[in-house]
Homo-oligomer: A and B are copies of this chain.
């Protein structure tokens, strides 16, 4: 038989210590400044289950663009509960014949699973220039090691749905084309540092809206 008074004492002690100091998570407070490893923590008493749930990966992203590709992110910048926890997800939709253009994630590894689709070429390029590529089908997973260029091409007959996991709650994305052609980097510098022809650069700058 356990006396209520004993219980009270015991839980008082533990409550006193831990109740207001929960560090199981650090839900992002977007109104406060960020630090090198993430957002400031929201007051735990204001955290609700909705901070840990994000909807929106159930419908295809808009793929009405030249790549026939769309992406919906579940990253820490709009999924507060992910802050500081080292993982995030996203959903990529690729129409038949569509592609995910060459890009890299500085410092984050990506791991994908094919939710729907077949004959989707997944590939990455290692720093010794070797290409690792393979057609992927439904249920296949592929890992794209951190910081390396990678791409997908849907060569199948149905639209592809890809779920991607990242080893960071805030992965960034460096797209090769927009990095080179959607800014004010001077054409002569681009030409010298990429060896691309000036005409090629100017053509793509026009497409992407680059200047200089």
Asked whether, in the complex, the Cβ of A147 is within 8 Å of the Cβ of B106, the reply is yes
Quick check: B165 and A99 within 8 Å, CB to CB?
Answer: no
The answer to whether B52 and A142 have CB atoms under 8 Å apart is: yes
Contact B121 A25 (CB under 8 A): no
Residues B89 and A109 in contact, CB atoms below 8 Å apart: no
Number of copies: 6
**In the complex, A145→B7 CA distance in Å?**
29
| Contact residues, A125-165 vs B (CB, 8 A) | 125-134, 136-149, 151, 153, 163, 165
Residues of B within 8 A of A128 (CB): 18-19, 22
5 A-B pairs (CB sep. < 8 Å): A7-B66, A21-B75, A34-B41, A88-B165, A131-B184
A143 neighbours in B (Cβ, 8 Å): 52, 79, 81-82, 85, 87
**A14 to B66 alpha-carbon distance, docked (Å):** 14
State the main secondary structure of chain A at its contact with B.
Answer: mixed
Q: How far is the CA of A76 from the CA of B64 in the complex (A)?
A: 37
Q: Which residues of B contact A165 (CB under 8 A)?
A: 87-89, 111, 165-166
Using CB atoms and an 8 Å cutoff, list the residues of chain A in contact with chain B: 2-3, 5-7, 9-11, 13-14, 17-19, 21-26, 29, 32-41, 48-50, 52-59, 61-62, 64-67, 69-71, 73-75, 77, 79, 81-89, 91, 99-102, 104-107, 109-111, 113-115, 121-134, 136-149, 151, 153, 163, 165-167, 170, 172-180, 182-185, 189, 192-197, 200, 203-204, 207-208
Q: How far is B185's CA from A59's CA once the two chains are assembled, in angstroms?
A: 31
Q: Which residues of B contact A37 (CB under 8 A)?
A: 35-37, 84
User: Smallest Cβ distance from A90 to chain B, in angstroms?
Assistant: 9
Which chain B residues lie closer than 8 Å to A87 at the CB level? 87, 109-111, 143, 165-167
In the bound complex, do residue B89 and residue A131 qualify as a contact, i.e. CB atoms below 8 Å apart?
no
User: When the two chains form their complex, are residues A85 and B189 in contact, meaning their CB atoms are under 8 A apart?
Assistant: no
